Structures are given as C-alpha cells and as structure tokens.
Amino acid sequence: MILKSRDKSILAMLEWIRVRLMTRLYTKREGIQKYAGKLCPSIQDRLEKLKVESKAFSATPAGSFLYEAGSQYERHVIDLVKKTCNCRSWDLNGIPCKHAITAIYTNIETPEDYTHPCYFKETYMEIYKEVLPPMPGQSEWAEIGQPAPLAPHIYKPPGRPPKQRKRASDEPRNPYKASRQNRPVRCGKCKKEGHNSRGCKAAITARHHDRRDRDFKEKKL
C-alpha cells in the first residue's frame, strides 16, 4: 500500500500514509454497516459454496452431537461440541467444512452458528470502530523551536545501480534451471569441446584460409 509514497520525503510520506489509513478505516466502517448478514460477505460466499458441496454427503448420528458423514468415496467423523472434523479443515480456519455442514443440517441447525466469531459482522465492526482524527495543515502546526529536519546525505556509488537482490553464497542463480557445472561444453558447429557455437573460430579460420589462397593466386597471375 505504501509503494506510492516511498519515494517522497519523510513528512510527505507520513502524511500520505495517515490520510490513506483514515480513508480506509472510514470506507470499511461505512461499508459493513450497510450489510445485513451475520457473517462477513466473503466468508458468507465461501460458506454458501460449501453448502452446495455438502449435498453429496449424508450424516449418520452416533451420539447427541457426534456424527459420521460420508459419501460413496470417503467418510469423516464430526464432533459438533468440539467443532472438529477429521479432515482438519474446520479445525484450521474456523469455517465448517462440507462434511460438518451435512451434520449441522442433520442436527437441525445452521452453519453460521458454528462459524468462528472472528468472522462475525460484530467483530469486523469492532476492529474498524476507531476513528483516525483529521489533522490541520502544516502551516497551522505548533512551533516548537527545534531546527527543521534535513534530508540525509545520500552517497551515490559510481556505475549503474543494481536491480537484482543480493543472493546467498549457496543459493543457485536459477533454482528451476539445471546447472551446467561439471559438464563439458560442446560446440554445435565444429562438435569440439571447450567452447560453444558463439565463440567458435572454425568458420573464421576457414574464411581466412580461403582469402589467403585467393590472394596468392592473384599474385601468381
């Protein structure tokens, strides 16, 4: 987000970041207030897709809140009290997986109630409830009697500035390209080892000999 302001001076960069954050907090806060759902929009869309995928499974109760959900190809164990499934998806992201949704519907409940509270609308509003106060312009700042900040001296080394990052000593140049170390280099023109076709001198030598023979014949004539 701050790439646009990194080349600015210190004060201009901080002011750009402050205004950007102030605007972002306001946009997020106003946008979520118009939403009427219980979960955040992106999480609700993800849950709706899982509901469609859960139609291929059927849940069999094994206890009050313990179910076995399976299809023709797989089978999973769901515990609605611990909010776990042995596929580990529900445990990792806090959103009921397609197997758990089948068990939740069999238990006559809604998957939204089993989603982690961090995805609730109330949690989202709590995060963005703080208002970043606006500030007056630099002309109205209080005078503190301190010297004005100066830009640091930048030493520009000679030569063209590097564009590639510095790699570690043991890091390969291109990890996806096979290394040519310990392989003999063979020329594609003369089929000899020790050089490639770009540095091959066989064609140059042949043209040089042809030119010498032609000059020798012209002198004899």
Residues 70-91 have pLDDT tens digits of 988 899 999 999 999 999 999 9
| Mean pLDDT (whole number) for 118-145 | 89
Give the pLDDT score at 136: 87
Residue 91 lies in a domain: yes
Look at residue 177 and tell me whether its pLDDT is greater than 60.
no
The answer to whether residues 93 and 102 touch, using CB atoms and an 8 Å cutoff, is no
- The residue type of 68 is E
Give the pLDDT score at 80: 94
Range of the domain at 219: 185-221
pLDDT bin (cut points 50, 70, 90) of residue 218 is: low
Residue 117 lies in a domain: yes
pTM confidence score: 0.58
Window from 16-25, 92-101, 122-131, 193-202 with minimum mean pLDDT: 193-202
Residue 2 lies in a domain: no
Q: Which of 124, 142, 159 is the last residue of a domain?
A: 124
Q: Are residues 117 and 189 located together in one domain of the fold?
A: no
Distance CA 38, CA 94 (A): 15
Q: Which of 75, 94, 124 is the last residue of a domain?
A: 124
| Mean pLDDT (whole number) for 189-201 | 79
Q: Which of 73, 103, 124 is the last residue of a domain?
A: 124
Sheet holding 75-79, edge to edge: 58-61, 66-70, 75-79, 84-85
Residue 192 lies in a domain: yes
Look at residue 99 and tell me whether its pLDDT is greater than 80.
yes
Give the pLDDT score at 77: 94
Look at residue 28 and tell me whether its pLDDT is greater than 60.
yes
Residue 107 lies in a domain: yes
**Residue that is written with structure tokens 């998806």 in the block:** 89
Number of domains in the chain: 2
Give the pLDDT score at 174: 61
> DSSP secondary-structure letter at 125?
H
Q: Are residues 120 and 189 located together in one domain of the fold?
A: no
Look at residue 119 and tell me whether its pLDDT is greater than 90.
yes
Count CA within 13 A, CB hemisphere, residue 199: 7
| Mean pLDDT (whole number) for 148-167 | 80
Give the pLDDT score at 5: 84
105 against 138, higher pLDDT: 105
| Mean pLDDT (whole number) for 51-59 | 92
* Rounded percentage of the chain residues whose pLDDT exceeds 90: 44
Residue 28 lies in a domain: no
Give the pLDDT score at 18: 93
Give the pLDDT score at 203: 60
Tokens of 117: 């509270």
Report pLDDT digits (tens) over 35-44: 888 999 999 9
